[in-house]
Amino acid sequence: MPTQENDTGPTPSCSGQQSGATPQFYDVSRTYQWNLEHSPREAAGEPRGRNQTASTNAQTGSLGLVPSPDGAEQQLGHDRGFTGESNPSAPMTRSGIAGAKWNFFGHVVDSPLGVAAGPLLNGDWCEHYADLGFDVLTYKTVRSVARRCYSMPNLQPVESHVMTGFESEVRTCSKMSGSWAVSFGMPSSDPLVWRKDVERTRHRLSRRKVLSVSVVGTQREGWSLDQLAEDYAKCACWAIESGADMIEANFSCPNVSTCDGQLYQSAEESTLVAQCIRDAIGDAPLVIKIGFIEEMSSVQKLVSALDGTIDGFSMTNSLAARVRDDRGNLLFDAEPRGICGRGIREQSILQVARFRKVIEQADSQLKIIGVGGVSSGRHVDSYLKAGADACHLATSAMLEPSIAMRIRSELINESNSNGGSLVDHC
C-alpha cells in the first residue's frame, strides 16, 4: 500500500516544470497538498469570483458562431452534440445564428471542451480553468471521508510510445514528453470542506459553465457492495445538494486495489452502484468513468446493463502498467499505475468507437466523453469522428493551462481555411 504524502518540503519529481512563481500551473515538484493550498487565486492574491467568460469568447470566438466563408450551413461533428440554444434537441449548424451552442447533457455551453477529473483540486482551480476557456469543469474526485494523497512522485514522466493496453510495464524518462504515470490515490478533503467549496464554486462560476463533481465510494473493511453503493450515493447526493450540475462516478482507478477502483469490469456491480446513485440524485445527469475494455462482448454487456440508468460514459481512465526506472527498479512498490497522456490516445479513440457502435446498435441515447491524450484541434476531431460527444483534457491542461483557447482557435481557423467544419458530418 503506498505511503501518504509528507508536506514538510518539496521533493522534485521531474525537471522543466513551473514552480510556485507561476501558480496557474500545477507544480509537480511539490506535493498535492501544497498545490491545493496554493491554488491560482490564493497564490496570486486575486479575489475569488472573477470570471472572464466574455474575455475568453472575445479572444477565441464561440465555436457555434463562426459562419463558413460561403455562408452555407456547416455542422461541427455529428448531430449528437451541437444544438440551437432555443431548441436544445435540434442539430446546431455553423451558420452564424446567434446563440447556437453545444449541448452537454442538457446544458448549453460554448464548446465540447472540458477538464477531466484530476487537475481541478478545488474551486479556485475550477474558476481558473473556466477563465481559460474550458466550459465543463470536473471537480477532482471527492469522498465521504477525508483521505490523504499518496507519497511523491504523483506524476512520473514515462516514455510516450503508443500503448496497446496490454503492457506489463513502462519505462520512466527524465523529461516530460507527453505521458506520465499518475499516482494520487484519489485523495479527498473532508466532506464539510469540499461541500462548502462546491457550493461556493457553483455560485461564482458563470451559468454558461458546467460544474461536474467526480465522486467515489470509500471501501471499509467488511463492507458489502450494497454499503459501498450507498457511500457512492451519499457523496453524489451531497454534491448535487451543494450545487453540482452533474455527477461523474469514478468506477475505474488503476492506483487502488479495492473494488471501488475496478467496478467497471463487472456490469452487474456497476449497475447496482449506478442505480443507487441514480435513486439518490434524481434526474441530474450521471456519467460513469471507466477504464480500458477491448472485448466487444464486454462493451455490449456494460452498455446493455447501464442503459436507462446513467446518461453516459467518460473514457478512458488511463491504461494500467507497472513503472520501471532507468536503474531497473520498479516504482510504486511494484504496483501498477495509470498511464495518462499522449501514449493512450490511440487506444482511447478506438474504445470510443467501440462504444459508439454498440450504443447505436442498441438505439441508445447514451453519450460519450472522450478522454486521453487530447492536445490539439485535430485530436478533438478524431474523438468526435469516433463517436465522442465531448472531449475532456487533463495531462495537456496541466502542462498548458491555456490550451482550450488554442484548440478553439485551431478549430475556427481550420473551419475558415477549409470552407467548413474541421469535423466532417458523420
Asked if residues 329 and 390 have their Cβ atoms less than 8 Å apart, the reply is no
- Grid cell 482550450 is found at 404
Give the pLDDT of residue 24.
74
Asked if residues 388 and 370 have their Cβ atoms less than 8 Å apart, the reply is yes
Between the alpha carbon of residue 173 and those of residues 25, 120, 170, 178, 334, the distances in Å are 21, 25, 10, 11, 17
Task: Provide the residue-wise pLDDT of the chain in tens; the chain has 426 residues.
Answer: 454 544 433 333 332 333 232 337 999 999 999 999 999 876 555 555 444 443 444 343 433 322 222 333 233 333 344 343 333 333 322 222 233 478 999 999 999 999 999 999 999 999 999 999 999 999 999 999 999 999 999 999 999 899 999 999 999 999 999 999 999 999 999 999 999 999 999 999 999 999 999 999 999 999 999 999 999 999 999 999 999 999 999 999 654 445 555 899 999 999 999 999 999 999 999 999 999 999 999 999 999 999 999 999 999 999 999 999 999 999 999 999 999 999 999 999 999 999 999 999 999 999 999 999 999 999 999 999 999 999 999 999 999 999 999 999 998 887 777 655 544 433
How many CB atoms sit inside 10 A of residue 207's CB? 10
How many CB atoms sit inside 10 A of residue 294's CB? 13
Separation of alpha carbons 59 and 155, rounded Å: 32
Helix H segments across 45-169?
53-60, 123-131
Nearest to 76 by CA among 101, 58, 109: 101
- Grid cell 501558480 is found at 23
How many CB atoms sit inside 10 A of residue 96's CB? 13
Between the alpha carbon of residue 365 and those of residues 86, 201, 308, the distances in Å are 21, 30, 9
Burial of 322 (0-12, 13-18, 19+ CB in 10 A): middle
How many CB atoms sit inside 10 A of residue 67's CB? 16
For 77-185, strand residue ranges (E) read 82-84, 87-91, 100-104, 107-109, 113-115, 136-142, 155-158, 169-171, 179-182
Asked if residues 312 and 367 have their Cβ atoms less than 8 Å apart, the reply is yes
DSSP one-letter string for 328-374: SPBSGGG--EEEEEGGGHHHHHHHHHHHHHHHHHTT---EEEEESS-
Contacts 24+ apart (CB under 8 A), 401-406: 401/24, 401/25, 401/128, 401/129, 401/132, 402/132, 402/133, 403/375, 404/60, 404/111, 404/113, 404/129, 404/132, 404/133, 404/134, 405/56, 405/59, 405/60, 405/132, 405/133
Provide the 3-class DSSP secondary structure of residue 223. Answer: coil
Q: In what order do the strands lie in the sheet with 169-171?
A: 155-158, 179-182, 337-341, 319-324, 169-171
Domains of the chain, with CATH numbers? Answer: 56-418 (3.20.20.70)
The three three-digit cell numbers of residue 307, written as one number: 442503459
Burial of 3 (0-12, 13-18, 19+ CB in 10 A): exposed
Asked if residues 233 and 277 have their Cβ atoms less than 8 Å apart, the reply is yes
